[in-house]
Chains A and B, each alone.
Chain A
Amino acid sequence: MTRPQLDTMLEQATRPYRSATWLAIACAAGAVITGIALLGLAGWFITGAALAGAAGIVAVQAFNYLLPSAAIRLLAITRTVTRYGERFYGHKAALSALADFRVALFERLVSAPGTAAPRGAGDLAALLIQDVDALEDRFVRQPGQIAALVGAATALAFAIPAGWAATAALAAIILAVVIAARLLARRWLPEKAQAIQQDIAALKLVFVEYAAASPEIAAYALAAPVEAQLQHQAAQLDTRRTAFAQAEAMLAALVTAAGGLAMAAILGLSEASLPLTLLAALAAAGAVEGLSAAVRSSGRDAVIAAGLARLAVLIGTAPVPSAPAAHLAGDQITITQSGQTLVLKRGDRLVVTGPSGCGKTSLLETLAGARDAASNVMIDGDFIGAIPADQRRALFAVSPQSAQMIAGTIADNLGLARPGLTADDMWCALETACFADAVRAMPEGLGTWVGDGGTRLSGGERKRLSLARALLAGRPWLLLDEPSEGLDPHTECKVQVNLDGWLAETGTGLILVTHRDAMLPLGKQHLAMGS
């Protein structure tokens, strides 16, 4: 997928929350203007009062003090309210839109999984969570950025009475701050921020793998090298964070320094009366301080662009709209392997055997659309490379060697198979897979939590749950990869008998990879791979 497409998705996600965004911008502008006016007016009021007080009673009586003092109090209240509005509506728009955006991204990910395959799960999740969070920053800052420019314009307007020299000096300072910040931010921040994100993602990826292998770490006392490896990666992350924070602080410091300079310039150059000079000077200080919002954003924009580029790569090419192409019946599968050509009609059963590493699992993955290539398999007369993966997938119910589970309950895992499954359906499939008794004995039955990736279940239990899930999918072909691994001989025998009956009853075809003799009777045809 390309950036424009990603931007379109983002645009779609933000559209429903546009009114909140506008409210946030209006509030932000209000807050900046009132803040500048408050300090400027206060300075004007005090200076005017001092001059009038010194000039005597007549001047004092001529001095209109009611209006400014009331205005000062009003400004104080308005600033508070608008500030709150800016923050609240800004975050509301950003959080809601990005929640939608994140899910839309995941949806794309599952519809075009190809390019994402080699990445680790932790890495992908980091992209989905952190890169999208970085985007939140952009949305939240956007109103402040616009408001800062409004503030600069306000201060320039206040500076006009102080004469052209003072106005020009202020304009020059503001311009210099904005341009310098933009240039420095682009040079310093983006690669640092990107490196931080990458480090976090890499750290998570490795951590997930290691935590899953904790028994082996314990057995060989590998905790020290494993933790050292992780600490090493983490220390690098901290170093980068420090560098980033310092670069950001330098940009903020630019604004602080410019604030003093702006006041000094106006005081030195002003041709107006002292009260108006003070108004201009304090307004200028306030406006320059307000630029800090714009300065911060200028650094982040490039960072966010980098995050978006990563997301675009992650999502890969846009899914081909699954044209209602010729529905694949899956009536005949032809496999040419090891000099043998096998023709399977719907309902046929094939057992595949061979030494480990000879490609049995790859054959199943090819059929099921998890891999491409392979020119040795045809479905309904077409080479499978020419058949879209999702059409192939619709033919097969797979129980993979890993018997992978999602973190959830037994029912959650079975429910993946097909929408609209009832508890009866589930129990029925569990019976066939010889797992119903065990589930019944669990305290929460179908609602029992299987742990992360099914770790609460033993290897054999996972295999049977995975088998039951495949049975529930109701596809024309069943692909089973070592379904009886981890089962005791008695259970294995029962599973074989049940499966035999279930296949006969439903007319489902079977392709079974196994090295266990007990499962061999299931096959009518036999493919021996490798030598």
Chain B
Amino acid sequence: MIALMKRDLQLALRSGGGFGLSLAFFLIVVMFVPFGVGPESGVLARIAPGILWIGALLSCLLSLDRIFQLDYEDGSLDLLTTAPLPMEGIVAMKALAHWLTTGLPLTLAAPVLGFLLSLPSEGYLWIFLSLAVGTPALSFLGTFGAAITVGLKRGGLLLSLLVLPLYIPTLIFGAQSVTLVVEGQTNTSAFLILAAISLFTFALIPFAAARALRVNLR
């Protein structure tokens, strides 16, 4: 399974692997917001947590269909299924590799972009923490969607429609846990629920996605 992780990271970093696409998209979306809503720092500061979270969510969505589709098309997924790896382990490794190549860079970039949106100083730590805790849930939920739509030609639209509703709780509690701090309130419960959502997806998604993959490979 380590080998699978290593290969996925290697593929993402090589040319055409799509690493950096999500990050670039995130940068562009966030940098366009001041142009769209105007440069008043009061307005920007209020919407900054939400914008950063929506930007991260959309950039995450961008690379979801690569998780299984490429392996499906070149036959690797069939071969992996007959390999001595549990399907649940394959799914978990795929989701983790997706997070390392999209969620983690987004998390690291978010505080810097927070500066562009004049995010109040107490928000920097929490935008970093909330994305660090919340983006793994985005990757795992997305892996589930990718497992359901694998094998569909141009299933990207269906994938987005399936996954976006599942992202709503993560978005609400992720953005809340930053907004509350910026407004000077305590964010403990929002942050804990965010962490709970992530843990819930770690526990459940590998089994659900493995089941969906087996059905799709028939």
A interacts with B: no
